[in-house]
Structure 1
Amino acid sequence: MLKIFSTQVAGLLKSISDKEEQSIEESSRLLAQSVLSEGTVYFKGFYEMEAVVSEALSGENKFRAGANFTEVELSDLLPVDSVVVATRYLDDEKAVELCSEVRKTTECNVILIGGRRKDAEMNVNPDDFADIVIDTKAVRGLVPLDDGTRLGLPSGLTALFAYYALFLTTEEILEEYDE
């Protein structure tokens, strides 16, 4: 099982790296603008995606100008701020509601990270609620069982990979301005 899981995870990470490169680059530009404009980059995670918030704010590689979204009121958000929302699935009701509220209330950037299920399974279009969407590609378990079910949905793992892609790309952009 572990061999199947690790092979499948490696494939997902490569897919994120290849297919989400443009979204990551665009997101990083927006986040770098927030940092350079002395704005704040707020992080909000739903469910297991609190790991992204923890990594961004307390990890070895903290995000510059990062803050916990739960510690701010919507009315206090500034146009130079950005909000990064991480959730298991891009059509998660709580995440979509939060992104929608932020977009209605403020002019700050909203970046949504999560797995994009097939259109037939999704009840909303996440692109309508976020400036940029990063698909973690994790939408089902990776290890098939004899009864047809699957185990090992690596949503937290792929979201952390997406976070590091954002972090590293943003740092690369900011280094050009630091010189």
Structure 2
Amino acid sequence: MLKIFSTQVSGLLKSISDKEEQQIEESSRLLAQTILSDGTVYFKGFGEMEAVVSEALHGENPFKKAERFRDDSLDELLPVDSVVIASRFQTDEGAFAFCERIKEAADCHVILIGGHKKEEENSDIKADIMIDTKAVRGLVPLDDGSRVGFPSGLAGLFVYYALFLTTEEILEEYVLDKE
């Protein structure tokens, strides 16, 4: 089972890297703009995707100008801020409602990280950019037809590092251009 899972995870991460490159680049530009404008990058996670928030704030490579989104953060939001939301699926009720609350409260950037189920419509989600983790089911098939090994948190952390590294690269280029 581990060999199958490893192979499938490798393919999943490659798919994110290949197919979400443009969304990651656009998101990183917005996040770099927030940092350079002295705004705050808020992180909010739902369920197991709270791991993304923990990594952004307490990991070896914390995100610049990052804060955990708290209930009172809604009143503090400025148009220069960005909010990164991580949920298992892009259409999770909690994440969907949260995106709406953010957009109603402030005209700041909203980036949503989560799996996109092909059968679900995302057009009503109030996010500026949505990054698909491609994690929508378990990766290891069992004899009874079910699947186990659903790597939503792992895929979310991969997207976090893609955003972190790309944003760092943009900020470095900006500093070099200013010299």
Cα RMSD over matched residues?
1.1
Which residues in structure 2 correspond to 1:1-179 (within 5 Å)? 1-70=1-70, 72-119=72-119, 122=120, 124-125=121-122, 128-179=125-176
Structure 1 unaligned runs (5+)? none
Structure 2 residues without counterparts, runs of 5 or longer = none
* More moved, 67-76 vs 87-96: 67-76
Residue 14 of structure 1: CA displacement?
0.2
- Counting aligned pairs with the same residue, the percent is 69
Q: TM-score scaled by structure 2? A: 0.95
Q: Take 1:91 and 1:152, find their aligned partners in 2: how far apart are those partners?
A: 21
- CA distance, structure 1, for counterparts of residue 123 and residue 141 of structure 2: 28
Q: Contact 2:52 / 2:160 at 8 angstroms: preserved in 1?
A: yes
| Conserved 8 A contact 1:79-1:108 | yes
Instruction: Assess if the C-alpha contact under 8 Å between 2:96 and 2:125 holds in 1.
Output: no
Contact 2:90 2:96 in 1 (8 A): yes
After TM superposition, the score normalised by the length of structure 1 is 0.95
Aligned residues: 176
- Which amino acid is the alignment partner of residue 34 of structure 1? T
The amino acid of 1:101's aligned partner reads: R
Q: Could you tell me how far apart the structure 2 residues matched to 1:112 and 1:17 are?
A: 16
8 Å contact from structure 2 (residues 81, 109) kept in 1: yes
